[in-house]
Amino acid sequence: MNIASKEKPVKLAIRAKQLNLWYGTFQALFDVDLNIKKGMITSLIGPSGCGKSTFLRSINRINERLGYVRIDGSVEVFDQNIYAPEVELVQLRKQVGMVFQRPNPLPVSIRENILFGHKIHNKKSGNRQQQDEIVEQALQQVLLWDKVKDRLHHKATSLSLEEQQKLCIARLLPVKPRILLMDEPCSALDPKGTEAVEELIWELRGKYSILIVTHNMAQARRASEECIFMLMGKVVEHTPTNQMFVTPAQQETADYIEGRYG
Partner 1 sequence: MNNQMFAATQLNQKNQRTEKLVQLLFILMASLLILPVLVILATLVVKGGSILSIDFLFTDPTNGMTEGGIFPALLGTIWLVAVALIISVPLGIAAAIYLSEYAPDNWFTRLINLAIINLAGVPSIVHALFGLGAFVVFFGFGTSILSASLTLAIMTLPVVIVSTREALQAVPHSFREACWNMGATRWQTIRRVVLPNAVSGILTGIILEVSRTAGETAPIMFTGAVFFSPFLPQGIMDQTMAMSLHLFVVSTQVPGVPENLPYGVALVLIGMVLLMNSVSIAFRMHLRGKKKW
Q: Using CB under 8 A as the criterion, which residues of the chain lie in contact with partner 1 when the complex forms? A: 60, 62, 65, 67, 89-94, 97-98, 100, 102, 104-107, 116-117, 120-121, 155, 157-158, 168, 171-172, 175
Strand bridging mode 226-231 / 234-240: antiparallel
Minimum CB distance to partner 1, residue 240 (Å): 29
Please, which residue, 159 or 257, has the CB nearer to partner 1?
159
Q: In 3D, which of 53, 105, 30 has the Cα closest to residue 214?
A: 53
| Min separation Cβ 221 and partner 1, Å | 27
Q: Name the residue among 199, 169, 200, 206 with its Cα closest to residue 41.
A: 206
Give min distance, CB of 231 to partner 1, in A: 27
Q: What are phi and psi of 125, to 5 degrees?
A: -90, 10
Least distance to partner 1 from the beta carbon of 107, Å? 5
Gap between the Cα atoms of 173 and 135, Å rounded: 10
Nearer to partner 1 among residue 142 and residue 231 (C-beta): 142
241, 43 Cβ separation under 8 angstroms: yes
> Nearest distance from residue 157's CB to partner 1, in Å?
5
Residue 98 backbone phi and psi in degrees, to 5: -135, 140
If the CB atoms of residues 170 and 257 are measured against partner 1, the closer one turns out to be 170
| Closest CB 244 distance from partner 1, rounded Å | 29
Phi/psi class of residue 73: alpha, beta or left (left: φ > 0; alpha: ψ in -120 to 50)? left
Rounded CA-CA distance 36/186 in Å is 22
Q: Of 144 and 257, which has the nearer Cβ to partner 1?
A: 144
**Can you tell me whether residue 196 is helix, strand or coil?**
helix
State the Cα–Cα distance between residues 133 and 151, nearest whole angstrom.
Answer: 16
Taking the least distance from each CB to partner 1, the nearer of 155 and 222 is 155
Contact 113, 139 (CB under 8 A): no
* Nearest Cα residue to 185 out of 202, 61, 174: 202
Q: Give the torsion through C-alpha atoms of 82, 233, 15, 90, to 10 deg.
A: -30
The least CB distance from residue 251 to partner 1, in Å, is: 37
